Amino acid sequence: MNRDEILTAASMPAFGPSYPKGPYRFINREYMIISYESDPDAIRAAVPEPLVPASNVITYEWMRMPDSSGFGDYTETGTVIPCLLDGQPVSFTVQMYLDDEAPIAAGREIWGFPKKHAQPKLELVTDTLTGTLYYANERVALGTMVYKQQTLDEATALRALGKDQVCLKLIPDVDGKPKIAQLVKFAMTDIAFKGAWQGPARLHLIPHVNAPVADLPVLRTRGGIHLLADMTLPYGKVVHDYLEI
């Protein structure tokens, strides 16, 4: 393998890369997003400066991605905190759990998604849209929402899907010291809306040391939205570099 071949490899391992180069297109990406009130001190502790929490209402989300270029068929779940960055609204992803190695590796290495391997599920069970998360054989999250009872307008859904997102990317150097410590921003593009609904939802989070979803406790559930769309995840942009300060 020569230098050019090494530098154009899509990802590690160069001999059988975990994921190809982008763009990454998702067909029929389905979301169940449950909003809930949580503890303001716990929220502040989970948010890296200079991001500032926008409110004490945060979201716990499930995503089904049955047809994703380069990544395949997988399910993901995790916590997102609405924040402000230089006064602008962004969504900060605190933790994510998924069942597919390719997007775990790509998500962590490219954008800094806080992804861990686990067993999430999002499915329609009789009349109930149902999300679960199992970590190390234990159930740590259960979300339920009524199914397609009330539509949500397309403009609101597109605003939610296209909102700027931010991740904290942390990659150590060979000596264990930080090599990359950045906030990375990106937003979904080329969104093809396919449907959106809203309605009552419930969320139950169970304490677990290695999947600490319940460390942002549910004080009151506000409601859920259910979205279906195609979209592209583009590369990101560094908006804050902790090593340059």
Ligand X SMILES: CC(=O)CC(=O)O
Which residues have a catalytic role annotated? Answer: 115
- Give residue number: closest CB to ligand X: 107
- Minimum distance from residue 72 beta carbon to ligand X (Å): 11
Q: Which of 106, 129, 166, 218 contacts ligand X by CB under 6 A? A: 106
Count of Cβ atoms closer than 10 Å to residue 173 Cβ: 9
| Among the listed residues 221, 233, 239, 240, the single contact to ligand X using CB under 6 A | 233
Site for ligand X in 110-129 (CB under 6 A): 113
Total residues interacting with ligand X, rule: CB under 6 A: 7
Q: Could you tell me the smallest distance in angstroms from the CB atom of residue 44 to ligand X?
A: 25
Determine the interface stretch with ligand X among 77-85, 100-108, 122-130, 223-231 (rule: CB under 6 A).
100-108
- From residue 96, give the alpha-carbon distance in Å to each of 60, 73, 76, 106, 206: 10, 16, 7, 13, 15
Give 181's strand partners.
Answer: 170
Residue type, 235: Y
CB of 165 to ligand X, least distance (A): 9
Residue among 184 and 218 whose Cβ is closer to ligand X: 184
- CB-facing half-sphere around the CA of 49: CA atoms within 13 A: 2
Burial class (CB in 10 A: 0-12, 13-18, 19+), 22: middle
Determine the interface stretch with ligand X among 4-12, 38-46, 102-110, 153-161 (rule: CB under 6 A): 102-110
Distance separating the N- and C-terminal Cα atoms of the chain: 37
**Residues 39-78, interacting with ligand X (CB under 6 A):** 71, 76
Contact map string, positions 132 to 171, toward ligand X, x by CB under 6 A: ----------------------------------------
The least distance separating ligand X from the CB of residue 20, rounded to whole angstroms, comes to 11
Among 36, 58, 92, 103, which residue sits at the site for ligand X (rule: CB under 6 A)?
103
Alpha-helix residue ranges (DSSP H) falling in 48-148: 101-106
- Smallest separation, CB 110 to ligand X (Å): 7
CA angle 66, 108, 54 (to 5 degrees): 90
CA 60, chain centre distance (Å): 9
Fill in the DSSP letter of residue 215: G
Q: How wide is the angle at C-alpha 37 spanned by C-alphas 223 and 225, nearest 5°?
A: 25
Rule CB under 6 A: which residues touch ligand X? 71, 76, 103, 106-107, 113, 233
